[in-house]
């Protein structure tokens, strides 16, 4: 009997996805371009529904037509070279899916190039890490809808399920699935940094011990903050290092790594002109963290306050930090979804924001109860300009903004950097300001570059002769 799907790439993710497919009744062919991982896979994960191949041609020939091949290889040049090697073996109508964290520009290019060859290309954003790949990830597939229909039964079966619905839905044309995954990761970066700042505040300013902070996160996971990241944070903070007997988190070097999707997301926000400030700050915070040697040296040279060690009202501040964190999270998601909306409009993708929130409810790293509220907000008003304006979020932010303000002020006063919490507050205050300071910026631009400005009392574009005495009254109309 022929196999219903082939998985190419037997690294961490590919091997678990193949096992997930087999566990759901699919006959799966697997292949890796070096034999070592195939050997490892065969010795560790023998499965009656999985056939391992050491040669590409029999791997492809073992697949039912139209062939469905799921690539799970390192993003970048590897995907192109794998596609090149597969092409001579494929027929028109066959389907290649790319589940790696590919750059969506590459996915758009691959989609178009393969379409010309009669091959369907589906970009599949995959989230959930190793565990999710095996037991149910969140999947974000895009490409031709007709091709998606052919792979949907498999993808929707292996995805995480929440309330009987798969965390997998057709996202849109071309590489939009990888776009959605990329911004998902940007939101994830922001969420992680916000949590780290809340934790540092509790530990360094409120004076809670690490086990006490674990207890706080555990209790938060039973509140509106309930989410995968809060849950794993509680578990991390409870863990003790066997070698030193210290909390595990204390023996981990404070330099954060990254693989690039947060950076891409932020770059894309800049390209689109959307203020995704919190995710961008979170990327910068990782860069700053990596300057460990500089930071150690600067600590003794640069002056500023440090946490005073004053006795704090712990219960009061724990509540303040919780509300500040929730508020920061709302702003980060509002920005991420604003980015989806703008990308959808600029690229003509018709992204369904409510459906995207629904598929993030399970399987993925940012899964959280509050995604239901995001989904509801877009179901109620699909043209919503920003999540902050939806009734649920309006009520929350109006109630919690004072706590975010308190925490940020206390942090600043104590010399504790809170890049994402403070960025959330700046965004919130900027977004709710009918009048910004940009009139002065427009004046400066016009002064040094004659860039023109609009007036609040007349239509058109104007230029002022700034150096002439009658500046105020002689603005002249500029041709558009
Ligand atoms: P691994 O490093 O574990 O596996 C990478 C795979 O790519 C291996 O099978 C490797 O084969 C193969 N590969 C590398 N270069 C080539 C090449 N030139 N030609 C063919 N195959 C090649 O990575 P992961 O499984 O963790 O990740 C795979 C993809 O999934 C990546 O794009 C990653 O960003 C993405 N992803 C990862 C997640 C995670 O949590 N780990 C979550 C979601 C997506 P070999 O070892 O033989 O070189």
- DSSP labels, 155-183: HHHHS-EETTEESB---BSTTHHHHHHHH
Atom of ligand 1 minimally distant from the CA of 127: 43
The mean pLDDT of 419-430, rounded to a whole number, is 98
d(CA 300, CA 58): 64
d(CA 307, CA 258): 29
- Residue 34: name the closest of 60, 9, 57 by CA: 9
Any binding-site annotation on 20? no
258: enclosing H helix or E strand: none
Tell me the pLDDT of the chain averaged across its residues. Answer: 95
d(CA 367, CA 351): 19
d(CA 156, CA 167): 7
Q: Does position 474 have pLDDT exceeding 90, yes or no?
A: no
25, burial (CB in 10 Å: exposed 0-12, middle 13-18, buried 19+) = exposed
Q: How far is the CA of 99 from the centre of ligand 1 (A)?
A: 10
Give the DSSP per-residue string, 431-460. Answer: HT-SS-SHHHHHHHHHHHH---EE-SSSSS
Q: How far is the CA of 41 from the centre of ligand 1 (A)?
A: 14
Tell me, using a 6 A CB cutoff, whether residue 398 lines ligand 1.
no
**Which of helix, strand or coil describes residue 273?**
coil
The one catalytic residue in 188, 197, 281, 323 is 188
d(CA 477, CA 454): 10
The best mutation among 73, 84, 140 to test binding of ligand 1, ranked by most ligand atoms within 8 Å of the C-beta, falls on 73
Q: How many CB atoms lie within 10 A of CB 152?
A: 16
Listed range (332-341, 416-425, 467-476) with the worst mean pLDDT: 467-476
In this prediction, residue 208 carries a pLDDT of: 97
DSSP letter for 468, please: S
Percent of residues, the chain, with pLDDT higher than 90: 93
| Confidence band, pLDDT 50/70/90 cuts, at residue 469 | confident
In this prediction, residue 1 carries a pLDDT of: 81
| Sign of the dihedral through C-alpha 357, 360, 366, 372 | positive
In this prediction, residue 478 carries a pLDDT of: 57
Q: Does position 479 have pLDDT exceeding 60, yes or no?
A: no
Q: Does position 307 have pLDDT exceeding 90, yes or no?
A: no
The mean pLDDT of 243-247, rounded to a whole number, is 97
DSSP letter for 227, please: B
d(CA 90, CA 120): 11
d(CA 364, CA 132): 7
Any binding-site annotation on 367? no
**Using one digit for the tens of pLDDT, what is the confidence trace for 7-52?**
999 999 999 999 999 999 999 999 999 999 999 999 999 999 999 9
Q: Does position 356 have pLDDT exceeding 90, yes or no?
A: yes
The phi, psi pair for 340, rounded to 5°, reads -60, -45
Report helix angle 419-431 to 314-347, nearest 10: 60
Atom of ligand 1 minimally distant from the CA of 259: 34
d(CA 107, CA 178): 7
What are the tokens at 66?
A: 């139209």
Q: Does position 434 have pLDDT exceeding 60, yes or no?
A: yes
Question: How far is residue 284 from each of residues 31, 275, 277, 426, measured CA to CA in Å?
Answer: 38, 15, 10, 16
In the block, residue with structure tokens 């938060």: 220
- Residue 196: name the closest of 211, 217, 212, 181 by CA: 217
Tell me, using a 6 A CB cutoff, whether residue 137 lines ligand 1.
no
Pure H helices in 166-226? 176-200, 210-220
- Catalytic site includes residue 165: no
The one catalytic residue in 68, 181, 322, 396 is 181
**Using one digit for the tens of pLDDT, what is the confidence trace for 187-211?**
999 999 999 999 999 999 999 999 9
In this prediction, residue 108 carries a pLDDT of: 98
Q: Does position 473 have pLDDT exceeding 70, yes or no?
A: no
Q: Does position 64 have pLDDT exceeding 50, yes or no?
A: yes
The phi, psi pair for 172, rounded to 5°, reads 160, -170
In this prediction, residue 480 carries a pLDDT of: 47
In this prediction, residue 309 carries a pLDDT of: 80
Any binding-site annotation on 127? yes
d(CA 118, CA 121): 10
């Amino acid at each position: 009997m022929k196999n219903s799907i082939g998985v190419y790439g037997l690294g961490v993710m590919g091997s678990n996805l193949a096992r997930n497919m087999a566990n759901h009744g699919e006959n799966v062919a697997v292949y890796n371009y070096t034999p070592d991982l195939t050997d490892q896979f065969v010795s560790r994960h023998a499965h009656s529904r999985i056939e391992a191949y050491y040669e590409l041609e029999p791997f492809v020939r073992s697949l039912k037509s139209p062939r469905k091949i799921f690539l799970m290889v390192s993003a970048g040049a590897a995907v192109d070279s794998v596609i090149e090697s597969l092409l001579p073996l494929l027929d028109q109508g066959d389907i290649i899916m790319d589940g790696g964290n590919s750059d969506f520009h590459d996915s758009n290019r691959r989609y178009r190039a393969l379409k010309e060859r009669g091959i369907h290309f589906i970009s599949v954003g995959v989230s959930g890490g190793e565990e999710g790949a095996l037991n149910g990830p969140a999947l974000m597939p895009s490409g031709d809808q007709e091709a998606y229909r052919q792979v949907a039964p498999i993808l929707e079966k292996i995805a995480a399920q929440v309330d009987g619905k798969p965390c997998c839905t057709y996202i849109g044309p071309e590489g939009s699935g990888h776009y959605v995954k990329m911004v998902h990761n940007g939101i994830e970066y922001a969420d992680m940094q916000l949590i780290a700042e809340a934790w540092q505040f509790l530990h360094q300013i409120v004076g809670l011990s690490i086990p006490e902070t674990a207890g706080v996160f555990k209790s938060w996971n039973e509140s509106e903050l309930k989410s995968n990241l809060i849950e794993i944070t509680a578990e991390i903070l409870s863990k003790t290092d066997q070698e030193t007997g210290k909390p595990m988190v204390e023996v981990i070097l404070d330099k954060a790594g990254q693989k690039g999707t947060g950076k891409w997301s932020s770059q894309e926000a800049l390209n689109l002109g959307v203020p995704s400030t919190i995710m961008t700050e979170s990327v910068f915070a990782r860069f700053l963290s990596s300057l460990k040697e500089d930071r150690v040296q600067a600590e003794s040279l640069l002056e500023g306050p440090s946490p005073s060690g004053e006795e704090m009202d712990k219960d009061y501040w724990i509540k303040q930090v919780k509300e500040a964190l929730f508020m920061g999270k709302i702003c980060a998601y509002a920005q991420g979804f604003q980015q989806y909306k703008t990308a959808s409009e600029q690229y003509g993708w018709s992204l369904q924001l409510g459906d995207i929130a629904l598929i993030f409810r399970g399987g993925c790293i940012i899964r959280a109860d509050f995604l239901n509220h995001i989904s509801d907000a877009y179901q109620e008003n699909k043209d919503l300009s920003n999540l902050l304006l939806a009734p649920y979020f309006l009520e929350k932010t109006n109630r919690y903004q004072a706590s975010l303000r308190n925490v940020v002020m206390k942090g600043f006063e104590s010399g504790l950097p809170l890049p994402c919490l403070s960025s959330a507050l700046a965004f919130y205050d900027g977004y709710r300001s009918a009048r910004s300071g940009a009139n002065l910026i427009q004046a400066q631009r016009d002064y040094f570059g004659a860039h023109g400005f609009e007036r609040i009392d007349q239509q058109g574009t104007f230029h002022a002769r700034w150096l002439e005495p009658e500046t105020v009254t002689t603005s002249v109309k500029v041709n558009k």
